[in-house]
Amino acid sequence: MKHIFKPGTDPSAPVLLLLHGTGGTESDLLPLAVAISPASSVLSVRGNVLENGMPRFFRRLAEGVFDIEDLIFRTQELNEFLDQAAEEYGFDRRNLIAIGYSNGANIAASLLFHDRDALRGAILHHPMVPLRGIELPALTDVPVFIGAGSNDPICSPQETEELTSLLTGAGASVNVHWERFGHQLTGTEVAAAAQWYRENIV
């Protein structure tokens, strides 16, 4: 997968996995890594799917309607890429924190839904429920931050609440931060994620 890897100044700090939104690239979320954990190494990945020329991490049938078969395949593809990247760059595969926005947050959530060991924790900006009707792995004490919009036209508050319920039901420790700026990723939301990181990730 096309990506950027930037070694950090603290080898013991979690590696930040950056996952962009629809139409983004592996450069989009680099400022978030600086804001949240400037000493961390960064692995920023570009999605392998194109929708009208816009990179995504998995296909969708319509806005808000995911291609579940492709989602499952792409989740496995990303998980395997993370294994390879850990070996190539020499970082601890078990010390990976995902930071995703929109489509990137959805694939990060799907990693949590499929594999207990895929991520140590996650910062999900405006995620949806990736898929329903599956039993989640035991996510005991996995820390998750969700940034949500109370007036988000793409990801409704009910969607956020359902995702929160599913994750907490599997044992994850979830903190939800609400904004009123639709589907936008704002500076105040990033600041809240950074504060959460300092308090919950050691």
Choose, from 67, 70, 115, 183, the residue flagged as catalytic.
183
Cα(142)–Cα(140) distance, integer angstroms: 6
CB 144 within 8 A of CB 174: yes
CA distances from 106 to 40, 88, 155, 173, 202 (A): 23, 26, 11, 18, 24
Choose, from 102, 110, 114, 125, the residue flagged as catalytic.
102
Would you call 110 a catalytic residue per the annotation? no
Would you call 83 a catalytic residue per the annotation? no
Would you call 152 a catalytic residue per the annotation? yes
Give 83's contacts (C-beta < 8 A, 6+ positions apart): 93
Q: Which residues are part of the catalytic machinery?
A: 102, 152, 183
